[in-house]
């Protein structure tokens, strides 16, 4: 932020001394990355249309000062069902009790219609990771999650495994030069994509200040278990892609909507909690009615975050493949951490939330990764209604990050990588392969949900160094 002065505010109509002091104080804390021009444009709009900013977590304070604090938003108190509705579990033997406790709570919500736990399920925030929940005309921001539209993308290239023998150095340099991990910063070259021109950035006031960050973070990845990796994929005979059954070079990535998705999740989770009152232990599962303006707004924002996540993967793959002179034969991709309008097996319309679960309608393609030294599986869904047309989104954690950190040394991780012939750039012991469930057992537990089309093995992996 530049040096915003009271006279600048006076010029655009802010004449009240208390209001100007409030604006300068808020701007210094929350709009540091705005230029004076951007900030004055936003403040002009708040002054002209303050009612549009009453739900904005930051700008509402300015808007309320302009038109007076509105009456407390009307809210409805909801009772939970006395007993949770039953839900289907796949791979129950390897799912911790805490994940069941969270799922049972979700199934006590009066809007819940159907639920299921995938075999990679483990405790999360709100809904368990690997939890799938169908609701009646209601969307639960926290059941979608913080990293909205987190997803997998796989590019298959017509090169053999010998490609890595010839170009291992070039692949490693490409991963270093054309990917970026972490909360801050971005790629050296500004990325372009049509998602940045989405009118939703202008239509929803609280999104406007986030546009600059979305520009900077386009084509980058987050922390934790997000990765970009090259490896080989062996396709099965008669695979649904129609490609010859042989081994190919492939590029696989996993990340989401970055700061944009997190901000949307926080904003609408708070809005839902303010208007949909539940018992305290269930309050994070507050929902937005799809017939309300807030519900429709969240749906627009969530969809934008999903489109942005897709755009990040498109830029990652385009940059890496171009740097190596490669072109994809085909690309397979899918969201998790998202909500979809769908129909249940009995024909009822529902909102299906997949918190760390892969869509698996009949014939729908997906990717289910293991860890940095174990396989990822290319799958086609079987469209099983009991599973809400879903499958796992990975192996699932067997250890918390802290436990993984305490149980593995850097030298131990290097030994595991060497034995698997995998090169790791960045990464941390928190993401070591032993922190995850056995991917082959997870796949066996969901053989009724998906058909395996191919098996991917990592060779060069890039992750955040935490």
pLDDT the model gives residue 296: 92
Within a domain: residue 78?
no
Measured distance CA(76)–CA(132) in Å, rounded: 25
Measured distance CA(171)–CA(321) in Å, rounded: 10
Domain boundary among the residues 49, 67, 85 is at: 67
Domain boundary among the residues 67, 97, 114 is at: 67
Within a domain: residue 264?
yes
Within a domain: residue 388?
yes
Give the mean model confidence (pLDDT) for residues 246-271. Answer: 95
pTM comes to 0.84
Is residue 466 very low, low, confident or very high in pLDDT (cuts 50, 70, 90)? low
- Sign of the torsion formed by the C-alpha atoms of 20, 23, 28 and 32: negative
Give the mean model confidence (pLDDT) for residues 307-331. Answer: 97
pLDDT of residue 2 exceeding 90, the answer is: no
Give the mean model confidence (pLDDT) for residues 425-437. Answer: 90
Which residues, other chains included, contact 306 with Cβ-Cβ below 8 Å and sequence gap of 6+?
A: 148, 149, 151, 257, 335, 338
Domain boundary among the residues 42, 67, 92 is at: 67
pLDDT of residue 74 exceeding 80, the answer is: no
Percent of the chain having pLDDT more than 90? 70
Is residue 56 very low, low, confident or very high in pLDDT (cuts 50, 70, 90)? confident
Within a domain: residue 1?
no
Based on the fold, state whether residues 46 and 166 are members of the same structural domain. no
Based on the fold, state whether residues 60 and 148 are members of the same structural domain. no
Which residues, other chains included, contact 121 with Cβ-Cβ below 8 Å and sequence gap of 6+?
A: 89, 91, 95, 99, 103, 128, 129, 130, 131, 392, 396
- 14: containing domain: 6-67
Place of tokens 């802010």: 14
pLDDT the model gives residue 339: 97
Within a domain: residue 55?
yes
Q: How many residues does the chain have?
A: 466
pLDDT of residue 223 exceeding 60, the answer is: yes
CB contact at 8 A, 320 and 174: yes
pLDDT of residue 73 exceeding 60, the answer is: no
Give tens-digit pLDDT for 381-394.
999 999 999 999 99
Based on the fold, state whether residues 169 and 255 are members of the same structural domain. yes
Within a domain: residue 92?
no
Domain count, the chain: 2
Q: How far does Cα 69 stand from its chain's mean position? A: 34
pLDDT, the chain, mean: 91
Neighbours of 215 (CB within 10 A): 14
pLDDT the model gives residue 93: 87
Give the mean model confidence (pLDDT) for residues 448-459. Answer: 97
Is residue 72 very low, low, confident or very high in pLDDT (cuts 50, 70, 90)? very low
Within a domain: residue 363?
yes
Within a domain: residue 295?
yes
Give the mean model confidence (pLDDT) for residues 253-265. Answer: 94
pLDDT the model gives residue 305: 97
Give the mean model confidence (pLDDT) for residues 206-220. Answer: 93
CB contact at 8 A, 305 and 151: no
Give tens-digit pLDDT for 273-317.
999 999 989 999 999 999 898 999 999 999 999 999 999 999 999
Based on the fold, state whether residues 325 and 193 are members of the same structural domain. yes
Please report, for residues 152, 285, 359, the alpha-carbon distance to residue 156 in angstroms, rounded to integers and kept in the order given.
13, 39, 20
CATH number of 453's domain: 3.90.1860.10
Based on the fold, state whether residues 28 and 172 are members of the same structural domain. no
Start-to-end Cα distance in the chain: 29
Which tokens sit at 124?
């999360």
pLDDT of residue 1 exceeding 50, the answer is: no
Give the mean model confidence (pLDDT) for residues 112-118. Answer: 97
Is residue 48 very low, low, confident or very high in pLDDT (cuts 50, 70, 90)? confident
> Where would I find the beta strands (DSSP E) of 42-90?
76-77, 88-89
Based on the fold, state whether residues 327 and 419 are members of the same structural domain. yes
Give the mean model confidence (pLDDT) for residues 77-106. Answer: 93
pLDDT the model gives residue 60: 85
Q: Is 118 exposed, middle or buried (0-12, 13-18, 19+ CB in 10 A)?
A: buried
């Amino acid at each position: 932020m530049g040096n915003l002065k009271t006279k600048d505010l006076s010029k655009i109509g802010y004449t009240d001394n208390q209001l100007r002091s409030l604006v300068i104080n808020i701007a210094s804390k929350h709009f540091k990355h705005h230029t004076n021009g951007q900030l004055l444009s936003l403040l002009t709009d708040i002054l002209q249309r303050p009612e549009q900013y009453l739900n904005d977590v930051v700008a509402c304070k300015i808007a309320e000062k302009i038109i007076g604090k509105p009456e407390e938003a009307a809210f409805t108190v909801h009772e939970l069902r006395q007993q949770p509705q039953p839900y289907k579990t796949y791979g129950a033997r390897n799912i911790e009790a805490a994940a069941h406790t969270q799922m049972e709570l979700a199934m006590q919500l009066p809007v819940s219609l159907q639920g299921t736990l995938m075999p990679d399920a483990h405790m999360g925030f709100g809904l368990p990771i690997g939890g799938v929940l169908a609701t009646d005309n209601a969307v639960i921001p926290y059941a979608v999650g913080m990293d909205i539209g987190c997803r997998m993308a796989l590019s298959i290239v017509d090169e053999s495994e010998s490609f890595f023998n010839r170009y291992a150095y070039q692949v490693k340099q490409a991963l270093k030069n054309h990917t970026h991990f972490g909360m801050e910063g971005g790629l050296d070259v500004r990325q372009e994509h049509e998602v940045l021109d989405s009118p939703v950035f202008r239509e929803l006031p609280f999104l406007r200040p986030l546009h600059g960050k979305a520009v900077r973070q386009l084509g980058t990845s987050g922390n934790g278990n997000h990765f970009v990796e090259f490896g080989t994929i062996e396709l099965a005979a008669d695979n649904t892609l129609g490609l010859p059954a042989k081994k190919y070079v492939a590029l696989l990535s996993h990340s989401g909507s970055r700061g944009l998705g997190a901000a949307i999740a926080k904003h609408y989770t708070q809005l839902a909690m303010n208007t949909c009152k539940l018992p305290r232990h269930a309050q994070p599962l507050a929902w937005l009615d799809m017939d309300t303006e807030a519900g429709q707004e969240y749906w627009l924002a969530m969809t934008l975050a999903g489109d942005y996540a897709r755009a990040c993967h498109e830029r990652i793959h385009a940059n890496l493949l171009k740097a190596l002179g490669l072109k994809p034969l085909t690309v397979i991709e899918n969201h998790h951490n998202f909500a979809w309008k769908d129909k249940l097996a009995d024909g009822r319309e529902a909102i299906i939330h997949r918190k760390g679960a892969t869509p698996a309608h009949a014939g729908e393609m997906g990717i289910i990764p293991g860890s940095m030294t174990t396989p990822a599986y290319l799958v086609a869904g079987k469209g099983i209604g009991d599973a809400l047309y879903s499958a796992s989104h990975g192996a699932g954690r067997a250890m918390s990050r802290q436990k993984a950190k305490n149980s593995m040394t850097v030298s131990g991780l290097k030994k595991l990588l060497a034995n698997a012939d995998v090169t790791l750039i960045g990464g941390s012991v928190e993401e070591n392969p032993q922190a995850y469930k056995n991917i082959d057992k997870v796949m066996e537990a969901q053989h009724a949900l998906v058909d395996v089309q191919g098996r991917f093995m990592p060779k060069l992996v890039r992750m955040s160094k935490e």
